Amino acid sequence: MEEPRTVENAIDSDQLENLKQRIGDAQDGLKEGREIFMGRVPHKTYSDFMDLSELKFCEDYGMTLAYLIEYYKLNEDHKQRYKALEDRIQSLEQRLAQTQSSSEDEKDENSKVNALNE
């Protein structure tokens, strides 16, 4: 019968020690009480932050803050991409308008030539 798969038999001893060390460091950080204090937070913002933290992250404020920062970074990236696409669309619209104008001018010239030939 095969042994149940556990962390101990899934990775080698060096990896296991490294993992234990990282977990220990993280727990030490919690014991040290890494905290952040935010003053002058508008009541609505504070309330929204607490609600988000409760609903999505089981009141883990650190994860809530990490999520908000990541969301902000993605939002800024999307703004830049949106602006670039908007500029490209505007450029294409201008080129299309020029092409249509040239096409209409050609049609006018062709109709004048046809009128003279008749």
- 32 CA to centre of own chain: 32
- Whether 42 is covered by a domain: the verdict is no
Residue carrying the six token digits 């030939």: 117
- Whether 92 is covered by a domain: the verdict is yes
Q: Residue 7 — pLDDT band, cuts 50, 70, 90?
A: low
The reply to whether 67 and 106 lie within a common domain is yes
- Whether 7 is covered by a domain: the verdict is yes
The residue range of the domain holding 81 is: 60-118
Task: Specify the 3-state DSSP secondary structure of 4.
Answer: coil
Q: For helices 43-57 and 61-117, give the axis angle rounded to 10 degrees.
A: 100
- Whether 44 is covered by a domain: the verdict is no
- Whether 77 shows a pLDDT value over 70: the answer reads yes
Contact assessment for residue 63 and residue 70, using Cβ atoms and an 8 Å cutoff: no
- Whether 114 shows a pLDDT value over 80: the answer reads no
Q: How many domains does the chain have?
A: 2
The reply to whether 67 and 13 lie within a common domain is no
**Strand ranges (DSSP E) for the chain?**
none
Q: Residue 10 — pLDDT band, cuts 50, 70, 90?
A: low
Percent of the chain with pLDDT over 70: 73
The model's pTM is 0.48
Q: Residue 51 — pLDDT band, cuts 50, 70, 90?
A: very high
Higher pLDDT, 20 or 47: 47
The reply to whether 114 and 67 lie within a common domain is yes
Q: Residue 106 — pLDDT band, cuts 50, 70, 90?
A: confident
